[in-house]
């Protein structure tokens, strides 16, 4: 099919051309005396994305799942108890991983479509007088349901309970796209991956550990080799890694961080919110509902859109892909067939997202959904038009018959813009 595939799953995301070019390079010696000039600044600049001054970043040749394992095994021992909220497929998978590495998990089940249950977390911690719970696991942005949880709120209830547990946060589909404040929110371990907000191919599992987490490392008895923080800390201190890193991905990360810092992190977050609001306007115009049950949980990186009874969301996804070359996210686990997802994170803009909305609209009509043609596109485009950043108007030199000519300096200034 001519043209480009429209990739609007919530990860992997579009890789900017600048990042692709940065990765397209010959291999080099990762033990050379030049290599620390790449690795050292990367580890420092990642702290800016996590918004921490006291944390330490680790880059593993892995994925977010590897980051989960690294965060847990470096700070806990077999048999330790952790408290985890389950409200989507990825919080479920993290719980499964924790159990499989030998931890006891107290699970707080919430409805899929809701966020982390703050009151129940506080109740569980307050009742834990012996402080058997060593950690609290929370997924910041549950990709399966399009739900963003209040991490600052989790820290507030932990502090109210006066509980010393570490706060572990999955930021795989939030960090680099949504406001994340590791120090301000008292996050002890944060995990992300390269293939979402960082706009890279999958292949890097990134963990940032705060001082309290690093202090637990010596007492942690969970088995770890590849994911050992200690090996990383020794090698990273001199600008190297304990084993072979992915050199192309490191160069790509260098460029993706440059893009984020050039735009400004606050501007990145504002752009994602604005784009997400346009998608939500389209969903409302279609007469459909989000999986997220309240606006306070609406995600600015992915919208999970419920389909009506009698419609299989998988059919919408299949038609969109086969007929319109549009990749949409599927419903996972208990949400399979009940929804489809539009990912709106990373390297994208208004017109790219309007293309995804148009393709989803056509696919929905193709499977028999009663969607008014053009309704979602019209609602989203009006939102984007009325909220677009206004650029200075250019002087084109074209005037009404009775208009006075512009002064030469003004014309020159207009041409310069």
pLDDT (0 to 100) of residue 415: 35
Which residue matches tokens 């389950």?
A: 86
List strand residue ranges (DSSP E) for 91-188, in order: 104-109, 133-139, 141-142, 147-148, 166-170
Q: Do 145 and 197 belong together in one domain?
A: yes
* Listed residue (342, 263, 260, 261) closest to 306, CA to CA: 342
Strands 205-209 and 56-60, bridge-based pairing: antiparallel
Residue 312 in any domain: the answer is: yes
pLDDT at position 389 is 82
Q: What pLDDT score does 393 carry?
A: 62
Question: Please, where are the H alpha helices in 16-88?
Answer: 17-23, 36-50, 64-73
Residues 66 and 184 in one domain: yes
Question: Do residues 276 and 214 share a domain?
Answer: no
pLDDT of residue 1: 63
Residue pair 15/201 in contact (Cβ under 8 Å)? The answer is: yes
How many domains are there within the chain?
A: 2
Say if residue 270 is in the same domain as residue 165. no
What gap in Å lies between CA 303 and CA 310, rounded to an integer? 21
CA of 305: how far to CAs of 25, 363, 379, in Å? Answer: 40, 13, 16
Going by DSSP bridges, is the β-strand pair 326-330/189-193 parallel, antiparallel, or unpaired?
unpaired
284 and 247 in a common domain: no
Looking at the fold, whether 250 and 277 belong to one and the same domain comes out as: no
Look at residues 244, 262, 280 and tell me which one is the last residue of a structural domain. 262
Indicate the pTM of the whole model.
0.92
CATH code assigned at 309 = 3.90.1150.10
**128 in the same domain as 65:** yes
Residue 150 lies in a domain: yes
Tens digit of pLDDT at every position of the chain (417 positions): 688 899 999 999 999 999 999 999 999 999 999 999 999 999 999 999 999 999 999 999 999 999 999 999 999 999 999 999 999 999 999 999 999 999 999 999 999 999 999 999 999 999 999 999 999 999 999 999 999 999 999 999 999 999 999 999 999 999 999 999 999 999 999 999 999 999 999 999 999 999 999 999 999 999 999 999 999 999 999 999 999 999 999 999 999 999 999 999 999 999 999 999 999 999 999 999 999 999 999 999 999 999 999 999 999 999 999 999 999 999 999 999 999 999 999 999 999 999 999 999 999 999 999 999 999 999 999 999 999 987 566 555 554 445 444 443 333 333 333
Q: Is residue 165, in this structure, part of any structural domain at all?
A: yes
Q: How far apart are CA 395 and CA 166, in angstroms?
A: 58
Write out the residue range of the structural domain in which residue 313 sits: 265-387
- Residue 182 falls inside a structural domain: yes
- Is 10 inside any structural domain? no
Alpha carbons 7 and 49: distance in angstroms, whole number? 24
214 and 283 in a common domain: no
Mark whether 271 and 258 lie in a shared domain.
no
402 part of a folded domain: no
- Specify the pLDDT at position 409: 38
Give domain status of residue 219, yes or no.
Answer: yes
Angle 289-290-292 (CA atoms, 0-180°, nearest 5)?
135
In a domain, 354, yes or no: yes
Confidence at residue 126, expressed as pLDDT on a 0 to 100 scale: 98
Distance CA 57, CA 147 (A): 26
298 and 170 together in one domain: no
Return the H-helix or E-strand segment holding 209: strand 205-209
CA 105 to chain centre: 25
Domain at 32, CATH number: 3.40.640.10
Residue that is last in its domain, among 209, 238, 262: 262
HSE at residue 131, side-chain half, CA atoms within 13 A, is 7
Same domain, yes or no: 167 and 216: yes
Residues 226 and 276 in one domain: no
User: d(Cα 37, Cα 279) in Å, to the nearest integer?
Assistant: 41
């Amino acid at each position: 099919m001519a043209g480009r595939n429209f990739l609007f799953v919530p990860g992997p995301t579009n890789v900017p051309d600048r990042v692709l070019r940065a990765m397209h390079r010959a291999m080099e010696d990762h033990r050379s005396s030049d290599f620390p000039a790449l690795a050292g600044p990367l580890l420092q600049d990642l702290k800016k994305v996590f918004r921490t001054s006291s944390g330490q970043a680790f880059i593993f040749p892995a994925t977010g799942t590897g980051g989960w394992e690294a965060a847990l095994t470096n700070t806990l021992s077999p048999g330790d108890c952790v408290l985890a909220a389950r409200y989507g497929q990825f919080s479920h998978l993290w719980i499964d991983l924790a159990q499989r590495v030998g931890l006891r998990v107290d699970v707080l089940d919430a409805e899929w479509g809701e966020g982390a249950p703050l009151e129940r977390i506080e109740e569980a911690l307050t009742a834990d007088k012996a402080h058997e719970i060593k950690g609290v696991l929370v997924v910041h942005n549950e990709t399966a349901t399009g739900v963003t949880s209040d991490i600052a709120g989790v820290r507030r209830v932990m502090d109210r309970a006066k509980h010393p547990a570490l706060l572990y946060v999955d930021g795989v589909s939030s960090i680099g796209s949504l406001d994340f404040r590791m120090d301000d929110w008292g996050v002890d371990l944060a995990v992300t991956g390269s293939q979402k907000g960082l706009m890279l191919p999958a292949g890097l599992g990134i963990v940032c550990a705060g001082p309290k987490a690093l202090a637990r490392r010596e007492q942690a008895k969970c088995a770890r080799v590849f994911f050992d923080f200690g090996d990383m800390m020794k090698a990273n201190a001199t600008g190297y890694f304990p084993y072979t890193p992915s050199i192309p991905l490191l160069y790509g990360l260098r460029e993706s961080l440059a893009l984020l810092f050039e735009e400004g992190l606050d501007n990145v977050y504002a752009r994602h919110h604005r784009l997400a609001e346009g998608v939500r306007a389209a969903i409302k115009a279609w007469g459909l509902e989000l999986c997220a049950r309240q606006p306070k949980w609406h995600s600015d990186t992915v919208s999970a859109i419920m389909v009506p009874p009698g419609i299989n969301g998988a059919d919408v996804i299949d038609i969109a892909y086969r007929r319109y070359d549009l990749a949409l996210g599927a419903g996972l686990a208990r949400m399979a067939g009940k929804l489809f997802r539009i990912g709106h994170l990373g390297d994208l803009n208004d017109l790219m997202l309007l293309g995804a909305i148009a393709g989803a609209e056509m696919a929905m009509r193709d499977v028999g959904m009663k969607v008014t043609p053009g309704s979602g596109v019209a609602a989203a485009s009006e939102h984007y038009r009325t909220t677009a950043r206004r650029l200075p108007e250019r002087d084109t030199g074209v005037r009404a018959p009775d208009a006075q000519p512009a002064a030469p300096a003004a014309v020159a200034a207009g041409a310069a813009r």
